[in-house]
């Protein structure tokens, strides 16, 4: 498959990250297979894909913590192979697994992380109050990290990554493992940063997260970019506006699918359900019922990035 051209991002904007033919190889295994993308200042950029797609490896290369095997990469106009520490000092990184110090208190974690950047005690004293308020952890200031819930730890890790007022905040799977409420609180915090113009780069395998937070994203699978663009443009290009999900029972789905295959723009038959992509979902469902096919359950919803991924790879994100 030919490499995709870099999709233009906001014009006349400073490019914070530019990757061309970016490659990472471990022995015989190619984790990232020559991908191109760029991230503009103030943009919220996502890397969407299933586990093992190469998102985290890409993330580690653009946080200047992992050397690339090939291609060109500039972060904040610098080559990370030559200026790794300088670049890292100007980024904010939220790793997939929290690496907070459990022996230090909440405010001490923020303080000591700020000290790694050489920030003064005076600056940090004020900044810590600000960050605790942002992370809604003011009442946990003197708590040990182990006393925090999973969502609180993630918020603290994000707050910690903001201590140096980073030029780009990079978040690797920020809400994995969190309950729905904690995810929404976190999204709210990230959305506020986005509103403030902070450049965000997010890897996720949750399509709703990508849709909520990303202005533009790349869909990755097996180390390659399958598609890139805004969530809306990807859905418009690779899916129909609405999707009808119908279940007739796993033993009947295939047989029924043959009878209703003319309905809608396209159809995917999954082991547990049939997906019908249509311009008008309710009309498509009415057509199915009119044919005498009564599903056990039915759902009409708008098309999502999950559908885009299914179209591009033939697999769902959780496969």
**Cβ-based neighbours of 38, under 8 Å, separated by 6 or more:** 6, 9, 15, 17, 18, 19
CB of 205 to other proteins, least distance (A): 22
Assess 311 for contact with other proteins (CB under 8 A): no
CB of 125 to other proteins, least distance (A): 14
CB nearer to other proteins: pick between 165 and 282: 165
CB of 63 to other proteins, least distance (A): 6
Which member of 14, 51, 72, 103 binds other proteins (CB under 8 A)? 103
Task: Using the rule CB under 8 A, give the single segment among 91-99, 234-242, 280-288, 309-317 that binds other proteins.
Answer: 91-99
Residues of span 179-218 touching other proteins by CB under 8 A? 192, 196-198
Assess 65 for contact with other proteins (CB under 8 A): yes
- Report yes or no: 175 and 189 within 8 Å, Cβ to Cβ: no
Which member of 10, 70, 72, 86 binds other proteins (CB under 8 A)? 86
The residue with tokens 């697999």 is 315
- Report yes or no: 62 and 84 within 8 Å, Cβ to Cβ: no
Q: Which residues pair with 78 in a beta bridge?
A: 75
Q: How far is the C-alpha of 314 from the C-alpha of 8, rounded, in Å?
A: 27
- Report yes or no: 106 and 145 within 8 Å, Cβ to Cβ: yes
Assess 54 for contact with other proteins (CB under 8 A): no
Assess 256 for contact with other proteins (CB under 8 A): no
Which member of 4, 20, 30, 117 binds other proteins (CB under 8 A)? 117
Q: How far is the C-alpha of 210 from the C-alpha of 233, rounded, in Å?
A: 13
* Cβ neighbour number for residue 299 with a 10 Å cutoff: 14
Q: How far is the C-alpha of 162 from the C-alpha of 113, rounded, in Å?
A: 10
CB nearer to other proteins: pick between 101 and 265: 101
Site string for other proteins, 139-178 (x = CB under 8 A): -----------------------x-xxxx-----------
Which member of 1, 5, 12, 97 binds other proteins (CB under 8 A)? 97
The phi, psi pair for 243, rounded to 5°, reads -130, 135
**Cβ-based neighbours of 218, under 8 Å, separated by 6 or more:** 35, 37, 46, 47, 48, 225, 227, 228
Q: Which residues bind other proteins (CB under 8 A)?
A: 63, 65-67, 76, 84-86, 88-93, 95, 97, 99-104, 108, 112-113, 115-119, 123, 130-131, 133-134, 162, 164-167, 192, 196-198
């Amino acid at each position: 498959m030919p490499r995709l051209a870099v999709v233009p991002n906001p014009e006349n904007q400073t490019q914070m990250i530019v990757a061309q033919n970016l490659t990472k190889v471990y022995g015989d295994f190619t984790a990232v297979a020559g991908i191109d993308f760029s991230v503009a200042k103030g943009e919220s950029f996502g890397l969407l894909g299933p586990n093992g797609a190469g998102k985290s490896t890409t993330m580690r290369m653009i946080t200047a913590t992992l050397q690339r095997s090939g291609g060109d990469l500039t972060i904040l106009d610098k080559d990370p192979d030559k200026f790794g520490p300088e670049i890292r000092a100007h980024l904010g990184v939220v790793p997939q697994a929290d690496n907070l110090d459990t022996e230090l208190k909440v405010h001490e974690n923020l303080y000591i992380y700020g000290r790694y950047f050489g920030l003064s005690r005076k600056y940090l004293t004020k900044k810590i109050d600000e960050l605790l308020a942002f992370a809604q952890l003011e009442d946990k200031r003197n708590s040990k990290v182990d006393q925090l819930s999973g969502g609180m730890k993630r918020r603290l890790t994000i707050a910690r990554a903001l201590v140096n007022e980073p030029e780009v905040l990079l978040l690797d799977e920020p809400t994995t493992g969190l309950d729905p409420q904690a995810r929404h609180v976190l999204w709210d915090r990230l959305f506020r940063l986005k509103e403030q113009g902070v450049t965000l780069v997010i890897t996720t395998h949750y399509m709703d997260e990508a849709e909520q937070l990303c202005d533009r994203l790349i869909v990755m699978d097996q180390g390659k970019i399958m598609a890139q663009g805004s969530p809306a443009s990807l859905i418009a290009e690779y899916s129909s506006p609405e999707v009808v999900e119908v279940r007739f029972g796993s033993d009947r789905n295939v047989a029924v699918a043959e009878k209703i295959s003319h309905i809608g723009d396209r159809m995917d038959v999954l082991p547990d359900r049939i997906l019908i992509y249509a311009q008008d979902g309710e009309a498509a469902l009415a057509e199915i019922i009119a044919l005498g096919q009564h599903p056990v359950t039915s759902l009409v919803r708008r098309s999502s990035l999950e559908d885009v991924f299914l179209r591009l790879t033939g697999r769902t994100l959780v496969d």
